[in-house]
Amino acid sequence: MKRLQWPRWMPVDPYIVLLLATMGVAALLPARGVAAEGVSWLATAAVAFLFFLYGARLSTREALDGLRHWRLHLTILGCTFVLFPLLGLASRALVPHLLDEALYQGLLFLTLVPSTIQSSIAFTSIARGNVPGAICAGSFSSLAGIVVTPLLAALLLGGQFAGGDGFSADSLLKIVLQLLVPFLAGQVLRRWVGGFVLRHGKLLSLVDRGAILLVVYSAFSQGMVRGVWGQVSVVRLLELLAVEAVLLAVVLALTWYGARALRFDRGDRVAIQFAGSTKSLAAGLPMASVLFGGDAALAVLPLMLFHQMQLMVAAVIARRRERDPLPTGAPRSYAATPHG
């Protein structure tokens, strides 16, 4: 039986359609009461399993080798946790003209979230960049973000956590138990399960996307039950999209040309651009759920929109970089590799 495939002429990625459909289902049939608790538990379990797979996938030797390229990782961490937050703080000047206070807080939160793992690896691979560097950078960013993101949120967002736990020892413990502990468990068990995970790359992709869809449904259901969507007009959403488009363009330009100014080679520049300009839904959504609680739906809206935008733009850039001639003597790992 012939497998159904998404038509190539369709301009929208099928995952974006699934994400929009999930939001639509949450709007029409939001989870309430016991059902909401069940969905929340499933979402938490799915994200924990996802980070377990991340841990099982990352070779300990690869991670140790990656630490030697400290300039690359410090640059990417600087883009993620310094450059982005500074741009987020600068966007305060847009309130109340283009952003209201609630959307600004969500925009600022998105600038504090760690980098993606899956997307940065895939796009770096397509563009024939430093794939091992992207793997380590994405993993290091996610691990650092477990602590850095809540700390930055407490520092920059202050008392904006009306519906959640805010930043406290308890909230940090919840984030560590959901993200870091499964990752470390994957590292410990990698000897037995790592080969299976590497051979079945699509499994990680399916868990990645499935976990995000579950968290989105849970957060948007809470938003519908609490009536937060009446606070956002269509005009405000369009203005938010415009602001995020400028933010993404600025970061993409700074990561590419800034890496050149710092004398990184082409492969490293590709890894810096994709790992330094992307933001992780898989890490950001559960953190927002803990920090913002019932207000998470509105808080993560800017992150969700930015995530889809970065996927579409990065895909175009990666395909263009794929056609670039590789420099003489470039490592084999910079050639296109399978990604799923």
At residue 330 the predicted structure's pLDDT band, cuts being 50, 70 and 90, is low
d(CA 204, CA 116) in angstroms, rounded, equals 13
Name the token pair of 200.
């079945």
- Least confident range from 12-21, 32-41, 204-213, 309-318: namely 12-21
In a domain, 33, yes or no: no
Residue 121's CATH number: 1.20.1530.20
As a dihedral over the C-alpha atoms of residue 228, residue 229, residue 233, residue 238, rounded to 10 degrees, the angle is 110
193-217: average pLDDT? 81
Question: Helical H runs in 113-233?
Answer: 118-126, 131-157, 169-175, 181-188, 190-199, 201-226
Q: Is 314 left (phi over 0), alpha (psi -120 to 50) or beta?
A: alpha
Q: What is the pLDDT of residues 44-56, one digit of tens each?
A: 888 888 888 888 8
List the Cα angle 58/61/66 in 5-degree steps: 80
In a domain, 25, yes or no: no
pLDDT of residue 331: 54
In a domain, 271, yes or no: yes
Which residue would you say has higher pLDDT here, 74 or 166? 74
In a domain, 145, yes or no: yes
d(CA 237, CA 231) in angstroms, rounded, equals 11
Q: For residue 96, is the peptide bond before it cis, meaning its omega torsion is within 30 degrees of 0?
A: yes
Sign of CA dihedral 239, 208, 126, 275: positive
Q: What is the pLDDT of residues 95-136, one digit of tens each?
A: 988 888 888 999 999 999 999 887 888 888 888 888 888 888
In a domain, 28, yes or no: no
Q: Which helix (H) or strand (E) holds 237?
A: helix 234-261
- Least confident range from 34-43, 165-174, 316-325: namely 165-174
In a domain, 275, yes or no: yes
Q: Which helix (H) or strand (E) holds 321?
A: helix 296-322
In a domain, 27, yes or no: no
d(CA 63, CA 93) in angstroms, rounded, equals 40
Q: Is the pLDDT of residue 25 over 60?
A: yes
d(CA 312, CA 320) in angstroms, rounded, equals 13
**Residues 6+ positions from 326 with CB-CB distance below 8 Å:** 128, 266, 334, 335
Percent helix, strand and coil across the chain, each to the nearest 5: 80, 0, 20
d(CA 22, CA 15) in angstroms, rounded, equals 10
Taking alpha carbons only, the member of 276, 274, 306 closest to residue 82 is 276
Amino acid at 304: M
Number of domains in the chain: 1
Name the token pair of 116.
């993606």
Name the token pair of 314.
């990065």
d(CA 289, CA 105) in angstroms, rounded, equals 14
pLDDT of residue 207: 82
Structural domain containing residue 244:
70-166+212-323
In a domain, 74, yes or no: yes
pLDDT of residue 163: 56
The mean predicted confidence, pLDDT, of the chain is 82
